[in-house]
Structure 1
Amino acid sequence: MSGYLTTHVLDTATGLPAKGMKIALYKVSGNSHTKLVEVETNDDGRTDAHILPAEKFKTGQYELVFFAGDYLRASGQVSEDILFLDQIPLRFGMSDPDAHYHVPLLLSPFGYSTYRGS
């Protein structure tokens, strides 16, 4: 298999990459989640390496959890104890063993969007 997974986060409220956001990747099987890796975004809002590199890539169901609340508090955009957006889970499937899957997050304190990027 030569597929791999990447992600990045853009802060649409500031117009900048979301630097320092923690992201966890889980392999999902039914109701079971197995954490594979936890990373943090760099100055460009990306991870320093593929979040799931080719040598560890397997097809199946996965979930990225973006720790948006921690990032939004650290950036000074929110200060409440209870946030509208805190942890954002994105569950998706990867079926092509040779594909590059890119799952970005566009974030503001009150909304987000995602898509399959390239």
Structure 2
Amino acid sequence: MATLTSHTLNGTDGTHAGEIPVTLTNLTTSTVTFTAQMDEGGRLSENIDAKDIDPDAMYELVFDTAGYWAARNMPAAVTQIALRFAMTDPEGAYHMPVILNPNSYSMWTSR
């Protein structure tokens, strides 16, 4: 079993960016692996069965930030953040933190 985690932070005020909808899709097969929502503290932790991971596939993790910014009355150019990556180890741990702003974002990964 693999674990995919994330933490979203609001770069405009330094708070946790919670309750953002998230979708992980296998781009090779167009199969949605999971849909979830960041918790109130901006954290996500999803376990993925090893049989559902293709080490040769490309995956896309999409954060739907439009509603988050709208709830704060902040016009945003960046209404979705899409991260593309491979999960080469079906038993691996993948961490994808994001600092988001209405018009930009920054991400990194650690394993």
Matched, 1:55 2:49: yes
Q: Which residue of the partner structure matches residue 102 of structure 1?
A: 95
The Cα RMSD (Å) is 1.8
Question: Can you list the C-alpha shifts for 1:10-68, whole angstroms capped at 9, x where unaligned?
Answer: 11112011111111111110xx4211221111121012xx32x1435523321011111
Name structure 1 gaps, 5 residues minimum.
Answer: none
Number of matched pairs:
108
Separation in 1 of the partners of 2:23 and 2:48? 18
Matched, 1:87 2:80: yes
Where 1:88 maps in the other structure, the secondary structure is strand
TM-score (norm 2): 0.84
Separation in 2 of the partners of 1:100 and 1:17? 22
Separation in 1 of the partners of 2:59 and 2:92? 15
Aligned AA (1:28): L
Question: Can you list the C-alpha shifts for 1:83-108, whole angstroms capped at 9, x where unaligned?
Answer: 41111211111112332111111101
Where 2:36 maps in the other structure, the secondary structure is strand
TM-score (norm 1): 0.80
Separation in 1 of the partners of 2:91 and 2:23? 23
Name structure 2 gaps, 5 residues minimum.
Answer: none
Which deviates further from its counterpart, 90-99 or 13-22?
90-99
Runs of 4 or more off by more than 6 Å in structure 1?
Answer: none
Matched, 1:115 2:105: no
